[in-house]
Chain A
Amino acid sequence: MVDVNERGFANLKIPIGPSHPALEEPARFLFEVEGEKVIDVDYEIGFNHRSIEMLCQERPFSKIVYLVERICGICSHAHPLNHVERVEDIADIEVPERAKYIRTIYAELERIHSHMLWAGIAGEEIGYHTLFMYTWREREKVLDLFEALSGNRVMHGCNRIGGVKWNISEEQARSALGALTYLDTAADKIAKAILKDGNIAERCKGVGSLSKEDAIRLGAVGPNARASGVPEDTRVMCKYAAYGDFDLEPQIAKDGDVVAQVLVRLAELKQSIWLTKELFANLPDGPIQAEYDGDVIPPGRSVGRVEAPRGELIHYVETNGTNFFERIKIRSPTLANIPSYVPKLIGCQVADIPIIAASIDPCFSCTDRMTVIKDGKRKVVSGRDLKAGRI
Chain B
Amino acid sequence: MIVSIVGALVYAFVAALLLQGIRRIVVAHSQFRKGPSIFQAFYDFFKLMSKESLTPNVTSPLLFNLAPILSAASMLIAALIIPLAASTSAVGAGDLIVVIYLLAIPPIALILGGSASGSPYGAIGAAREVALLIAYETPFIVAMAAVAIAAGSFQLDTISATAWVTVLPLATIAAIWTLPAAAAVQPFDIAEAETEIVSGPYVEYSGPNLALLQLGQWLKIFLYASLIAAVFFGTAIFHFQPAINFVIQFLIIVLLVTVFIAFWQATTGRTRVTRVLRYYWAVPTMLAIVDLVLYVAGIRYMHFLFGWAGV
Contact = CB atoms under 8 A, between A and B. Distances in A.
Are chains A and B touching in the complex at the 8 Å CB cutoff? yes
A326 to B, nearest CB: 44
Contacts of A137: 32
Interface string B263-300: 00011111111110000000000000000000000000
B273 A200 contact: no
B169 to A, nearest CB: 26
Interface string A138-169: 00000000000000000000000000000000
B129 to A, nearest CB: 14
Interface stretch (A172-180, A281-289, A348-356): A348-356
Contact of B273 (A1, A12, A36, A125): A36
Interface in A342-386: 349-351, 353-354
B270 A127 contact: yes
B32 A128 contact: no
B228 interface: no
A105 to B, nearest CB: 28
Given A133-B32, A351-B193, A21 B269 contact: no
Interface in A259-301: none
Contacts of A133: 31-33
Interface in B177-195: 186-187, 189-190, 193-195
A216 interface: no
A123 interface: yes
Contact of A200 (B195, B269, B275): B269
B123 interface: yes
A350 B186 contact: no
B31 A129 contact: yes
A127 B184 CA distance: 12
B145 to A, nearest CB: 31
Interface in B242-282: 266-275
A2 B121 CA distance: 13
Contacts, number: 82
A332 to B, nearest CB: 24
A62 interface: no
A350 B31 contact: no
Given A126-B270, A128-B269, A14 B186 contact: no
Contacts of A203: 269-272
Contacts of B44: none
Contacts of A354: 195-196
A131 interface: yes
B120 interface: yes
Interface residues of A, number: 32
Nearest to B266: A130
A13 B196 CA distance: 14
A20 B198 contact: yes
A127 B187 contact: yes
B63 interface: no
Interface in A82-127: 123-127
Given A12-B123, A127-B270, A22 B196 contact: yes
B269 A199 contact: yes
B124 A350 contact: yes
Contacts of B274: 36, 349
A134 interface: yes
B194 A14 contact: no
A21 B124 contact: no
A202 interface: yes
Contacts of A130: 30-31, 266-267
A21 B267 contact: no
B141 interface: no
A197 B274 CA distance: 19
Contacts of A22: 195-196
A260 to B, nearest CB: 18
Interface string A300-320: 000000000000000000000
B31 A349 contact: no
A202 B31 CA distance: 23
B151 interface: no
A128 B272 contact: no
Nearest to B267: A130
Contacts of B198: 20-21
Given A13-B120, A127-B186, A130-B31, A351 B269 contact: no
A199 B272 CA distance: 10
A254 to B, nearest CB: 24
Given A36-B274, A130-B267, A134-B31, 6 more contacts: A12-B124, A15-B120, A21-B195, A127-B194, A203-B270, A350-B124
6 contacts: A12-B124, A14-B124, A127-B195, A197-B269, A202-B275, A351-B272
